[in-house]
Amino acid sequence: MATLTDNFGIQEALRQLGVKEINDGTSTGTETFANGEIIESYSPVDGQLIAKVKASSKEDYERAMQKATEAFKTFRLMPAPQRGEIVRQFGEKLRTHKEALGKLVSYEMGKSLQEGYGEVQEMIDICDFAVGLSRQLYGLTMHSERPGHRMYEQYHPLGVVGIISAFNFPVAVWSWNTALAMVCGDVCIWKPSEKTPICGIACQNILAEVLKENNLPEGISCLINGDYKIGELMTADTRVPLVSATGSTRMGKIVAQAVAGRLGKSLLELGGNNAIIVTPDADIKMTVIGAVFGAVGTAGQRCTSTRRLIIHESIYDKVKDAIVSAYKQLRIGNPLDQNNHVGPLIDKDAVRMYSESLDKAIAEGGKYLVEGGVLSGEGFESGCYVKPAIVEVSEQYDIVKHETFAPILYLLKYSGEVDNAIEIQNGVAQGLSSAIMTNNLREAEKFLSVAGSDCGIANVNIGTSGAEIGGAFGGEKETGGGRESGSDAWKIYMRRQTNTINYTTSLPLAQGIKFDL
Active centre residues (catalytic): 269, 303
Confirm if 65 and 239 have CB atoms less than 8 A apart: yes
Confirm if 278 and 246 have CB atoms less than 8 A apart: no
In terms of DSSP H, where are the helices of 406-498?
418-426, 441-448
The span from the CA of 494 to the CA of 22, in Å, is: 37
The span from the CA of 18 to the CA of 233, in Å, is: 28
The span from the CA of 515 to the CA of 72, in Å, is: 42
Helix (H, G, I), strand (E, B) or coil at 254: helix
The span from the CA of 308 to the CA of 310, in Å, is: 6
Cα 137 to Cα 84, 323, 488, distances in angstroms: 11, 46, 9
Could you list the beta-strand ranges (E) of 225-350. Answer: 242-246, 265-269, 274-278, 306-312
Helix axes 172-183, 80-96, angle to 10 degrees: 150
Confirm if 268 and 482 have CB atoms less than 8 A apart: yes
Confirm if 222 and 80 have CB atoms less than 8 A apart: no
